[in-house]
């Protein structure tokens, strides 16, 4: 049983600040302590735990494997303590900084139009929205919720499915007028197929031809870092692209883009999930409110 004179949350706070600021001196300045006092506090913590957390050198501090584990769990514990204090003081009204990472297409077509409504419902929340098609580490990026597309890798994260949009190969009328319309997947070899400059779960464009699955590589004279950039290049007539239907729905309806090879479309779905750390009962109210809002509003 823990001794009452051990301020475990205080030790965690100082340890986390040492890690995030990169040294004892920086943490000491943040807490108006001396570097030796911070060093002794961490040493006492290590002695109490019976494990070395930090390898010290003249150049830098390096976390041990035990230190990495303790840091990750300390960040979660401190966040939950903060939320508990806010909840007790404000009847659990969602508030504070909410950092959300989403792909550029999902952010553009879903999140940004919904932001005003969400913040009107929860005016004490400060939304920090990062749009990137790069998969972020939630802990490292201090992110509460990330929107991810495609199959999920095994992890400690919790996921809530938002939808399963279909995929479609598209081209602009101007491009098709200049280069012709492919009638079969094999005819794509003669076309400029714009792809992504990063690894994806499905490497290429899948089709089904008379019951036989085939994959066509996305080889072209341009690559992009996000789906919205790909859409813009296809609209500009540079080449063909394969995109989520929600992203090009309005373009197809307006005739700005043309769907291609639909008879060969395998009907695959690009599942979209909101991923986060912690089970539902452990979530900060601002995170729970955001997830519930998405589940209600997002339709694919």
String of DSSP letters for 47-84: HHHTS--EEE-SS-EEE-HHHHHHHHHHHHHHHHHHHH
Reference 12, options 69, 90, 89; nearest CA is 69
103-130, pLDDT tens digit by residue? 999 999 999 999 999 999 999 999 999 9
Element (H, E) at 127: strand 125-131
Of the pLDDT bands very low, low, confident and very high (cuts 50, 70, 90), residue 4 is very low
User: Helices marked H in 222-277 — which ranges?
Assistant: 227-235, 245-254
206-252, pLDDT tens digit by residue? 999 988 999 999 889 999 989 999 999 999 999 999 999 999 999 99
Gap between the Cα atoms of 67 and 51, Å rounded:
8
- Which domains does the chain possess? 8-88 (1.10.10.10), 94-158+273-297 (3.40.190.10), 167-264 (3.40.190.10)
Gap between the Cα atoms of 181 and 160, Å rounded:
39
Cβ-contact 28, 21 below 8 angstroms: no
Gap between the Cα atoms of 126 and 32, Å rounded:
28
pLDDT at 79: 81
> pTM score > 0.75 for this model?
no
pLDDT at 5: 46
pLDDT at 55 over 50: yes
């Amino acid at each position: 049983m823990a001794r009452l004179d051990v301020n475990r949350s205080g030790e965690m706070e100082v340890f986390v600040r040492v890690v995030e600021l990169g040294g004892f001196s920086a943490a000491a300045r943040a807490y108006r302590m001396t570097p030796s006092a911070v060093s002794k506090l961490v040493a006492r913590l290590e002695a109490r735990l019976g494990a070395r957390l930090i390898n010290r050198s003249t150049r830098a501090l390096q976390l041990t494997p035990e230190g990495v584990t303790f840091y990750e769990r300390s960040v979660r514990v401190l966040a939950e303590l903060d939320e508990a204090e806010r909840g007790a003081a404000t009847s659990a009204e969602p508030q504070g900084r909410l950092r959300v990472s989403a792909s550029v297409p999902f952010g553009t077509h879903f999140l940004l139009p919904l932001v005003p409504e969400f913040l009107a419902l929860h005016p004490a929340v400060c939304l920090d929205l990062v749009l990137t098609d790069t998969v972020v580490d939630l802990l490292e990026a201090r992110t509460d919720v990330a929107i991810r597309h495609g199959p999920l890798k095994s992890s400690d994260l919790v996921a809530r499915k938002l939808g399963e949009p279909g995929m479609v190969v598209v081209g602009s009328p101007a491009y098709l007028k200049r280069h012709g319309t492919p009638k079969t997947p094999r005819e794509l070899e003669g076309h400029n197929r714009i792809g992504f400059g990063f690894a994806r779960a499905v490497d290429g464009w899948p089709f089904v031809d008379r019951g036989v699955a085939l994959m066509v590589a996305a080889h072209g004279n341009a690559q992009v870092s996000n789906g919205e950039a790909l859409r813009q290049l296809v609209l500009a007539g540079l080449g063909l692209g394969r995109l989520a239907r929600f992203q090009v729905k309005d373009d197809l309806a307006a005739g700005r883009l043309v769907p291609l090879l639909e008879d060969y479309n395998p009907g695959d779905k690009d599942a979209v999930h909101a991923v986060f750390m912690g089970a539902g009962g452990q979530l900060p109210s601002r995170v729970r409110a955001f997830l519930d809002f998405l589940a209600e509003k997002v339709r694919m």
